[in-house]
């Protein structure tokens, strides 16, 4: 039994749990939370698989995800914020 396999299985199970949360909802933010969890789990999974393949030079991929993953979530925050600004302005116009 390889130690990488054990961790990879744990990460995969967590991915399934996060996916169930994404499918169940109930609010859209639970889905965003699931996306966030899924993102970090993908980083971990890719790193572990790179070691399992014996090609640690592929850690570039995990690095790319670690850097870029936050952008999507910040975009969600901006989206929600603009919408609340817009709707409050519309309410003031009425």
Partner 1 sequence: MKLLELLGYFNYWVFAIVLTVGLYAVISKANLIKKLIGLSIFQSAVFLMYITMDKVEGGTAPIIQAGVEDQVFSNPLPQVLILTAIVVGVSTLALGLAMVVRIKESYGTIEENEILDAD
Partner 2 sequence: MIFIFAVFLLSLLVITAIAIVRTNNLFSAVMLTSIFSLLMAANFFILDAADVALTEAAIGAGVTTVIFLCALALTADRAKPNKERRKVAYGAVGILASLMIYATFDKPPLGDPDAPVHQHVAPWYIEKTPEYMDFPNIVTAVLSSFRGYDTLGEVFVVFAACIGVLFILGVPVPGNAKPAPMQQKKGLHHHLIPQVVGRLIIPFIVLFGLYTQFHGEYGPGGGFQAGAIIATGIILYALLEGESKALQAVPRRVLMGMVIGGALLFGGVGVICMLMGGNFLDYSVLAADPVWGRQLGIIIIEAGVGMTVCGALLSIFHAFASRERAS
Partner 3 sequence: MIDLVIDVLSWILLILGGSCVLIGGVGGLRLPNFYTRIHASSLTDTMGNILIFLGLMLQAGFTLATLKLFAVMLFLLLTGPTATYALANAALLSGIKPDTGSTNDDNTEESPK
Degrees to nearest 5, angle at CA 35 with 8 and 83: 170
Cis amide bond preceding 3, omega within 30: no
The C-alpha atoms of residue 33 and residue 20 are separated, in whole angstroms, by: 12
Contacts (CB under 8 A) with partner 2, residues 17-56: 19, 22-23, 25, 28, 31-32, 34-35, 38-39, 42, 45-46, 49, 52-53
Nearer CB in complex with partner 3: 27/92: 27
Here's the x/- map for partner 1, 50-89, by CB under 8 A: it reads as ---x-x-xx-------------------------------
**Backbone region of residue 25 per phi and psi (left: phi > 0; alpha: psi in -120 to 50; beta: other values):** left
49 near partner 3, rule: CB under 8 A: no
The C-alpha atoms of residue 48 and residue 37 are separated, in whole angstroms, by: 17
86 near partner 3, rule: CB under 8 A: no
* Residues found near partner 1 in the complex (CB under 8 A): 53, 55, 57-58
């Amino acid at each position: 039994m390889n130690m990488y396999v054990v961790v990879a299985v744990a990460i995969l199970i967590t991915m399934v749990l996060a996916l169930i949360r994404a499918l169940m909802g109930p609010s859209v933010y639970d889905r965003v939370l699931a996306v966030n969890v899924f993102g970090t789990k993908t980083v971990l999974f890719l790193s572990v698989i790179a070691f399992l393949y014996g090609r640690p030079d592929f850690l570039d991929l995990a690095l790319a995800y670690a850097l870029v993953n936050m952008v999507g979530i910040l975009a969600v925050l901006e989206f929600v914020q603009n919408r609340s600004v817009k709707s409050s302005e519309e309410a003031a116009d009425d």
